[in-house]
Copies of this chain bind each other. A is one copy, B any other.
Amino acid sequence: MPRAAVKKRAYHHGDLRRALLEAALAIVASAGPSALTIRDVARRVGVSQAAPYHHFADKDALLAAVAQEGFVAFTAALVAGRARGGTKVAARLRELGAAYVAFAVANPSALRVMFGGAVCISDHPTLKQTADGAFAVLLESMLEGQKAGVLRRGDPSELALLAWSMLHGLAMLWLDGALHGPTGAPVDVEQLARKASDAIVRGLSG
């Protein structure tokens, strides 16, 4: 069992980088990105306060790495969601929207790091590219819609931007807890995301 062999706690950590990323996500989950401290991350992993600097240039780089992994998973979730919509364009867009918000619900911490302003995406070229990849999924879908005659003609990236705004706004408002009725009762966001997608398709129809 090589698994156990790897387990020996030694001077050198098995995969410190990975452990740091996970600890960071755990802290964000329990206290928000602003409470994230590199010293705390190190402490949780059981390593000295200086150790993280051998894997990340600084705190910002650590957050960027968390966001990077988030965007990769996010893009996959969008693609998978869209596929669940089958062959009809409107259904594909509806499920893509549902997947967007479902990801937010399932990974609030990741989304907070990705879009919460704690890390400036354009400061990190690789991250920017990955984030653009997620946007590209939406853009493709808009092109699909135009080709099928379901969406109006014109600049597809403008359509994508409007659809993105809708879903992004919904996800962010949910993260901020703004989506609770006066009674404090939570809303079924995923269902709301489907309605939002339908509204977008109608609103941007040809």
Contacts and interface: CB of A to CB of B under 8 A. Distances in A.
B117 A32 contact: yes
A172 B168 contact: yes
A157 B181 contact: yes
Interface string A178-192: 110100000100001
11 contacts: A33-B117, A34-B34, A116-B116, A120-B177, A162-B195, A165-B166, A165-B170, A168-B172, A168-B173, A169-B172, A202-B203
A34 to B, nearest CB: 7
Interface residues of A, number: 42
A32 B164 CA distance: 24
B176 A121 contact: yes
A159 to B, nearest CB: 9
A179 B199 contact: no
A176 B131 CA distance: 12
A176 B34 contact: no
What is the oligomeric copy number? 2
A196 B172 CA distance: 17
Interface in A105-140: 112, 115-118, 120-122
A130 to B, nearest CB: 13
Given A162-B195, A202-B203, A178 B116 contact: no
A202 B202 CA distance: 7
Given A117-B117, A118-B34, A164-B169, A199 B204 contact: yes
A93 interface: no
A69 interface: no
Interface in A137-181: 157-158, 161-162, 164-170, 172-173, 175-179, 181
A149 to B, nearest CB: 16
A24 interface: no
Interface in A66-121: 112, 115-118, 120-121
A162 B34 contact: no
Given A121-B178, A178-B121, A204-B199, A164 B173 contact: yes
